[in-house]
Copies of this chain bind each other. A is one copy, B any other.
Amino acid sequence: MKTIKILAVAAILLLSHACNTQVEKKENTKSLIPEEAIFPKGELGPATNFTGNAYNFGLVENDSVYNTLAGNVYFEKGARSNWHVHPSGQILIVLDGEGYHQLEGQPKQTMKKGDVVECPPNVKHWHGATENNSLTQMYILPKTENGIVTWLEAVTDEQYISN
C-alpha cells in the first residue's frame, strides 16, 4: 500500500508540474501580445484635446515634399478625441481593436480592424475607442499646405453613448 501511495503521489506531482509548465507557457504567450504591436505606444495626448487616454506615435512628419502627416493613435477603451476639423480631410485606417467615428449631423459609426474611414475636408468630426475595446488607428492627413487641425469642444458622455 505504501508503494502505491508513493507512486500515486509521484504521478500527481509530475502531472501537476506538467500542468504548471503549460500554464506558464500560456502566460508567456499572453505577455507577448504587447510585443506584437506594430508601433510604440507613443505620447499621451493632452486632456485639452482628448477625453481619457489616447497616445500618439508620429510616422510621417509634415514637410513640403510630401505635404502629408501620418501617425498612429492608441485609444484606451472609452477614450476619444474632441470634436475637430481638418482643412483637407483625414483618412483613418484601423489596425486593431474597435472604435467609433462620427461626422457632425450623422449617426455614430462603428469601425474595426482593417476598416478605412474618410473624413471630408472641413467636416466637424470625432473618433475614439468603444466602451469595451481599445482602438489602434493610423491617420493620414493630406495636403497639409492647407493646415492640419482645428481642435473644438469635448465629446460629451451623451454624445459618446448615443446611436
Contact = CB atoms under 8 A, between A and B. Distances in A.
A47 interface: no
- Interface of A (DSSP majority class): mixed
Nearest to A60: B91
A69 to B, nearest CB: 10
A110 interface: no
Contacts of A11: 8, 12
Interface string A4-29: 11011101100110110011011001
Given A8-B9, A38-B114, 14 more contacts: A4-B4, A5-B8, A12-B12, A12-B15, A19-B22, A22-B22, A22-B26, A38-B113, A39-B114, A59-B116, A60-B116, A66-B118, A67-B143, A70-B93
